[in-house]
Amino acid sequence: MLLPSIFGDRFFDDDDDFMDFPPFRGHVENALMKSDVKDSGDHFELDMDLPGFNKEDVKIQLKEGVLTVEATTSKSNDEKDDDGKYIRRERFQGSCTRSFFVGKNVEQDDIKARFDKGVLKISVPKDNPKPEIEENKYIAIEG
């Protein structure tokens, strides 16, 4: 017998508590937004899997050195027979969020992102402290 995917592969583990299986614990959430971070020298490349999401469903924000990716979707799959009676009616609504500290000196304009076939690709420059410009200070001479 095949089980619905919401139960994952741990449904029959004996040591699991009832509240420990999805949708209560979050295995489904952990399956979303799987991320790979690659060091590419002067920048980092972040690849995030977002299957089932569209580009319009994804928002990226940089605030106080923290890059936050949020994806929200709502889908409906209604099927009716010839008389207009429901044969199957399923709905899905969900959102997920991931945050990464990228550094206080990274600016929003320096971050590049693109969405291709369910994978969000983000390029983030490394946080290099900006050198402080020394000012020449002169001492006033009285006299």
**Position 101: which residue type?**
F
**Distance, CA of 125 to CA of 105 (rounded, Å):** 10
What number is the average pLDDT over the span 53-58?
A: 90
Is 33 inside any structural domain? no
Q: Tell me how many domains the chain contains.
A: 1
Asked if residue 34 belongs to a domain, the reply is no
Q: What is the mean pLDDT of residues 85-93?
A: 74
Q: Where are the beta strands (DSSP E) in the chain?
A: 35-39, 43-49, 58-63, 66-80, 86-101, 112-116, 119-125
Handedness of CA 34, 40, 41, 46 (dihedral sign): negative
81 belongs to a structural domain: yes
Cβ atoms within 10 A of the Cβ of 75, count? Answer: 10
Report if residue 111 sits inside a domain: yes
The whole-number pLDDT of residue 98 equals 92
SS3 2: coil
3-state secondary structure (DSSP) of residue 80? strand
User: Which CATH number does the domain housing residue 93 bear?
Assistant: 2.60.40.790
Whether residue 107 lies inside any domain: the answer is yes
Domain assignment of residue 59, yes or no:
yes
Average pLDDT over all residues of the chain: 76
- Rank 3-17, 28-42, 101-115 by mean pLDDT and report only the highest: 101-115
Given a cut of 50, whether residue 16 has pLDDT beyond it is: no
Output the pLDDT for position 142: 74
Structural domain containing residue 73: 49-127
What is the pLDDT confidence band of residue 132, given thresholds at 50, 70 and 90?
low
- Mean per-residue pLDDT for 44-66? 91
Closest alpha carbon to 5 in 26, 33, 28 = 28
Instruction: Tell me, yes or no, whether 134 lies in a domain.
Output: no
C-alpha 126/C-alpha 129 separation (Å) is 9
State residue 130's pLDDT score. 65
For residue 100 the two structure tokens come to: 């990464």
3-state DSSP call for residue 129? coil
